[in-house]
Structure 1
């Protein structure tokens, strides 16, 4: 098999003896209690609670215990432990995560682009990735689903889904919190309190605060960059009017302010840039634009104060989850509203000392989304058919203004002012059934029918004569301002129980990602459209446990083919016939690989080793492309990755508590971060270490950890400058429970 050819014989031998924890929900642990083995893992990867080992889906899950032991603080940090995943902030935007799974991702944060790796919070779809770096406070678990999820998590998931599940209110009073302090003047505080009103009315309030002074030194202004100041509050109410009915309501508000600037460079041969003539300087920038606070009118802020270098994203949301046990199945209604306000002023060329001459993007935008879903889970024919079916509806409206300044001498010189209003409306019906053909053999058949319509409207600049344009200017080039799609995405899977704890599975899954426009085009002829992206993924693997549940080995091999791949590069404009930097349907991408997750429980030790092997290539490129060819390689697709480590917890009577130790290592082979293969990483090795002491009554925990012990330097993006990953950090933690 081609997939097996990716595995060197030495690696196969290592995998056979490797041991590692699959990251799991806090599931019932009867088997662990009886055997001293691994806890059972419960996930909702198929929109119902099931043991991970019984689900023919490639999924990695993190429980509160794993989040605590591995010191994971936000959504982007989970990717360090997921095979086949690379993540980084969008260039200039610390609040926006660009997730890549199996070489599919998107670094665009404008509303007219959709992300192929989507984010869900409590089953609510998050339409925009501008503010998807969800800070973990009072999180029940996080699930990372790898590969297209065209049926049950259907919108835009050609690459995968990140599903964050928050803890529900408890039926008794409880309070917990955490405070930390560490490198670069980083301080955090998190707290949650459960306040039940009665047996039928439960409430919970949670909050967090983060302040980070920044690790990037601006040698021009003397300021510290790449810091943040974030806070958030969330309230939950659970009503239980009867044994059959549960109503969960929640409201949340968060604010994320900070900067994310690129590195200055000096003359020399760069190890990151192909044929480069400059070398990045870690961790310094020379940008001339000083910091300020973003406002609702950032153009006015820049022009009146002469300052910028800011990003402010606020999110307000309310949601409802109503579950009713009908006696024959579970009927669930999920609804939510979410408003995002985002504004930023970013200087992207890190060597330009004169701020007036610099390349500066100024943005103010809002996004409102409303979603509703009705889902039904049931078992039919003596539970020989497990059915999940439902309907989904989403509407989102975005208003955005992006203005570009560059080339001035003593004043800011505007060269672009793009103003648009974007609306998307989508509805879907889905159904998936697990059919037990025989005791050991189960067939899964599912499908989703999606209808979607998008519209776009442009407005000429009210501030700068000659910049911006209206709808008529775009339509004059034959570019439509509305597009719609009807798409059916099926899924087929078989799983066979070779033994009670060994399952073999195979699947074929289809997913698609919506089309769109170049919404921030400087001129109307560049506001071109692109078609939906489609992926077929074929997977086969094994989920198994051995040695009385002390060793778990899950293996997935896959081949994924994506047609009409959406990319941004230099292309021959279909409107003007000249070369321009435009989004387009690049062609076809083929990715194949093997992902392995292993875990073992050896007394007080838990060990893990999760390697992945990936081969990604373009098999066809659109003739319209002038620079992208099949000789180039897809971005963020390392050939080899591995995350591994050891967790140790031991109760010691002499100190009246428990000692905990953790060590985690992540290795990435070099991979490209620029579409035209001009920029790549070096070999990366990240080491994290931690030690904790927890009192015998579990009331107080004190910890010390070091992230990126060796201070591994890396780049995450290249847009006029190279953008860095985090340096080494030391952190002291104190946690309490009441």
Structure 2
């Protein structure tokens, strides 16, 4: 899946953006076109664009959908260089997403406080990612890196009725473009800090004769050095370095009432993971590794402050390859009925070595003075996954009734081989180290069947101002695992669930929608592939009930928009991952079920007082509280409820974003300049659930402090070059060069913990030519 997304993203970056103002309308396949509303001569304002979304599996204007959804069109995505889903967190309230620092091409995503940082292929994610309706099964493959979607939708809260599977927390839905109506060639390239450079092209065939067929072919190459200097390697192998190639192709056919889209994507990414910096350590750990220079070895840096230069063991670059096919067909059975089929196959293959410290560290071991290491995966984790999915929908649109019914099938085969090595300091003195090794090797299979339906009814007596919606979904999942390490075992489980959604919406006036919603969701149970002795191997399904009240409104003739949603969410058997480092198992951990409640709100506002000026702002708040979560007591070892001192990892209580954009009048030669400033802020967040001495004692110290990011861009559009147009963009990201933590790992009883820091200030320029 990851491959598919990576390829899609890479190939589509050349898509030209839709106008910032005007009405953006999506067709049923997910592409968009822009219709600018007529404005009286001399008018100084323009209505805010109304993006059409498919949040309920049909085209609807976002302001008319009784769902908490944020939609971003291609123009904003391109302007802000949002070429991968994790960057959406900078503009979407209550979305927390970050690249997986230990892997190239993965993402950790949380919506309204719920998500997972777990990489195990035996654990599903509660946040689903879709590309053109195709479900991506793994978070290790959900960071596209190279796609510029035509539209991105972030749906908050459980999506248990209409979307794929495992969407207890929310969903991110991306739509790629259809071919343009006429032949077009677009070339784009750019440079940036850290020796970043990229080039891409996109060719649209237009209609091929009178066949009804048209096509897109796109390619991108991108490379950048790392953001941390590793003196033991070249810049192309520094932490954060990437070298990638991606291809995307789509063929669209249209013959009367039949529309068919076939797409193919391929991505080949070579890179180095983010720099894990050891921030804190026990005194015994400091004393042990502090002797390395006197024993003829290298020094180990232990410092909570971000370093621009840091030594890491030289290892081969990580390699991630992904590819996929998707076939979408729509057939109009009548003016009121349409049948739609989405068929997809995806494949993902990754080799991911990882170093957490420099080479040539020396220490006293049980076999004398030898090279030692706190923790590392020199050979590299190998992950492979392939999936097939099939969805069929019947959609009906009548005067007062809309409905969708359908079926969904998903199958997945995945395997992981994860060898690690580490040094355990032997108590009581902890002056002697014991070099150890461990591995987590297993293969899993999953099969999921579902039938679903949803009906929306507009009673005639209410003049279409009232809408009643009800939907349900029955799901049956089957899973199996065969494992050889850390112990030999196998298991097979089946799970059943019925989820429902009920909403009531009423238009207080044509531009104001008040709605209430009750929805449920479900995430299947699974297997704890890292589990050792005394830890449950199987965990139960997760279930959620969410209550939501929202208001969507436009004011002053469409120049002010305010959307507000408040929610209360009740989780039963919430799947919580806890990572621990142990003396006999190295990197281990477990997934345990807990009960929790989350409540909060999102407020999004847009003001467009003139055609030239636009101001955006949003704020999100989530109060996440465990009611029940059991961990072993540090003293007695007995399981106790530690809800009062536990945190939701990776989740800030507050998120906020503000932006202002001004477009100047065109120069005499037609060039149109514009400037934009963006500022995003999020409050403190933890990276583990608690700081119990027997689990993650450094959790409070490695927590990420509140931080803000300022970005800026200057665009010169419609630059005349011969008979074509060019666009030149200058950009700055993290303009104030803030140091902020994006990930933290506490290795528990191994005696140390550390962080991965975000990207420092980046400056660059892009040039796009359209022929």
Fold agreement, TM-score > 0.5? yes
- Aligned to 1:216, the other structure's residue is in SS state coil
Contact 1:711 1:728 in 2 (8 A): yes
- 1:134 offset after TM fit, Å? 1.2
Please give the alpha-carbon distance, in whole angstroms, between the structure 1 residues aligned to 2:270 and 2:644.
40
Provide the residue aligned with 1:390 in structure 2. 406
Q: Which of residues 312, 315, 329 in structure 2 aligns to 1:291?
A: 315
**Cα distance change, pair 407–582 in 1 and its aligned pair in 2 (3 A):** closer
Give TM-score scaled by structure 1 length. Answer: 0.86
Contact 2:535 2:590 in 1 (8 A): no
Q: Which of residues 574, 577, 580 in structure 2 aligns to 1:565?
A: 574
Please give the alpha-carbon distance, in whole angstroms, between the structure 2 residues aligned to 1:667 and 1:259.
28
CA RMSD after TM alignment: 2.9
- 1:232 offset after TM fit, Å? 0.6
Per-residue CA shift, 1:128-186, capped at 9, x if unaligned?
A: 11121113445211111111100111411111111111001122101112201010011
Please give the alpha-carbon distance, in whole angstroms, between the structure 1 residues aligned to 2:601 and 2:453.
29
Contact 2:412 2:446 in 1 (8 A): yes
Please give the alpha-carbon distance, in whole angstroms, between the structure 2 residues aligned to 1:29 and 1:424.
44
- Aligned to 1:721, the other structure's residue is in SS state strand
Note the 1:564-583 alignment, pairs <5 A: 564-569=573-578, 582-583=589-590
Q: Which of residues 670, 685, 690 in structure 1 aligns to 2:708?
A: 685
Provide the residue aligned with 1:369 in structure 2. 387
**Structure 1 position 430 matched with structure 2 position 452:** yes
Please give the alpha-carbon distance, in whole angstroms, between the structure 2 residues aligned to 1:268 and 1:454.
39
- 1:388 offset after TM fit, Å? 1.1
Contact 1:348 1:721 in 2 (8 A): no
Please give the alpha-carbon distance, in whole angstroms, between the structure 1 residues aligned to 2:468 and 2:653.
32
Please give the alpha-carbon distance, in whole angstroms, between the structure 2 residues aligned to 1:660 and 1:667.
24
Provide the residue aligned with 1:725 in structure 2. 758
- Aligned to 1:79, the other structure's residue is in SS state helix
**Structure 1 position 130 matched with structure 2 position 130:** no
- 1:190 offset after TM fit, Å? 2.3
Provide the residue aligned with 2:739 in structure 1. 713
Q: Which of residues 464, 468, 478 in structure 2 aligns to 1:443?
A: 468
Please give the alpha-carbon distance, in whole angstroms, between the structure 2 residues aligned to 1:733 and 1:92.
29
**Structure 1 position 338 matched with structure 2 position 340:** no
Provide the residue aligned with 1:273 in structure 2. none
Question: Higher mean Cα deviation, 586-595 or 348-357?
Answer: 348-357
Contact 2:77 2:148 in 1 (8 A): no
Give TM-score scaled by structure 2 length. Answer: 0.82
Contact 1:22 1:598 in 2 (8 A): no
Query: Unaligned regions of 5+ residues in structure 1, if any?
Result: 1-19, 270-276, 293-309, 461-467, 475-480
Contact 2:615 2:661 in 1 (8 A): yes
Contact 1:28 1:40 in 2 (8 A): no
**Cα distance change, pair 234–267 in 1 and its aligned pair in 2 (3 A):** closer
Query: Unaligned regions of 5+ residues in structure 2, if any?
Result: 1-19, 26-31, 283-300, 363-370, 426-432, 633-638, 692-698, 746-752
- Aligned to 1:730, the other structure's residue is in SS state strand
Please give the alpha-carbon distance, in whole angstroms, between the structure 2 residues aligned to 1:648 and 1:353.
55
Provide the residue aligned with 2:483 in structure 1. 458
- Aligned to 2:644, the other structure's residue is in SS state coil
Per-residue CA shift, 1:574-610, capped at 9, x if unaligned?
A: xxxx999542334212111110111121220111001
Provide the residue aligned with 1:194 in structure 2. 204
Q: Which of residues 98, 110, 125 in structure 2 aligns to 1:115?
A: 125
- Aligned to 2:651, the other structure's residue is in SS state coil
- Aligned to 1:565, the other structure's residue is in SS state strand
**Cα distance change, pair 23–530 in 1 and its aligned pair in 2 (3 A):** farther
Provide the residue aligned with 1:244 in structure 2. 257
**Cα distance change, pair 181–482 in 1 and its aligned pair in 2 (3 A):** same
**Structure 1 position 591 matched with structure 2 position 604:** no
Please give the alpha-carbon distance, in whole angstroms, between the structure 1 residues aligned to 2:446 and 2:511.
45
Please give the alpha-carbon distance, in whole angstroms, between the structure 1 residues aligned to 2:190 and 2:484.
47
Per-residue CA shift, 1:364-388, capped at 9, x if unaligned?
A: 12101000000111024xx211001
- Aligned to 1:727, the other structure's residue is in SS state coil
Please give the alpha-carbon distance, in whole angstroms, between the structure 2 residues aligned to 1:408 and 1:50.
58
- 1:715 offset after TM fit, Å? 0.9
**Structure 1 position 323 matched with structure 2 position 330:** yes
Contact 2:160 2:499 in 1 (8 A): yes
**Cα distance change, pair 649–497 in 1 and its aligned pair in 2 (3 A):** same
Please give the alpha-carbon distance, in whole angstroms, between the structure 1 residues aligned to 2:61 and 2:70.
12
Please give the alpha-carbon distance, in whole angstroms, between the structure 2 residues aligned to 1:198 and 1:158.
47
Provide the residue aligned with 1:737 in structure 2. 770
Contact 1:591 1:616 in 2 (8 A): yes
Provide the residue aligned with 1:379 in structure 2. 397
Please give the alpha-carbon distance, in whole angstroms, between the structure 2 residues aligned to 1:131 and 1:120.
12
- 1:632 offset after TM fit, Å? 2.4
Note the 1:186-585 alignment, pairs <5 A: 186-196=196-206, 197-199=208-210, 200-219=212-231, 224-240=238-254, 242-265=255-278, 279-284=303-308, 286-292=310-316, 310-327=317-334, 328-349=336-357, 353=361, 356-361=372-377, 362-380=380-398, 383-407=399-423, 415-437=437-459, 438-439=462-463, 440-459=465-484, 468-471=486-489, 481-521=491-531, 523=532, 526=535, 528-569=537-578, 582-585=589-592
Provide the residue aligned with 2:286 in structure 1. none
Please give the alpha-carbon distance, in whole angstroms, between the structure 2 residues aligned to 1:71 and 1:584.
35
Contact 2:53 2:61 in 1 (8 A): yes
For this pair of structures, how many residues does the alignment match?
Answer: 670
Per-residue CA shift, 1:271-312, capped at 9, x if unaligned?
A: xxxxxx9642423464541032xxxxxxxxxxxxxxxxx321
**Cα distance change, pair 580–142 in 1 and its aligned pair in 2 (3 A):** closer
- 1:470 offset after TM fit, Å? 2.8
- Aligned to 1:214, the other structure's residue is in SS state coil
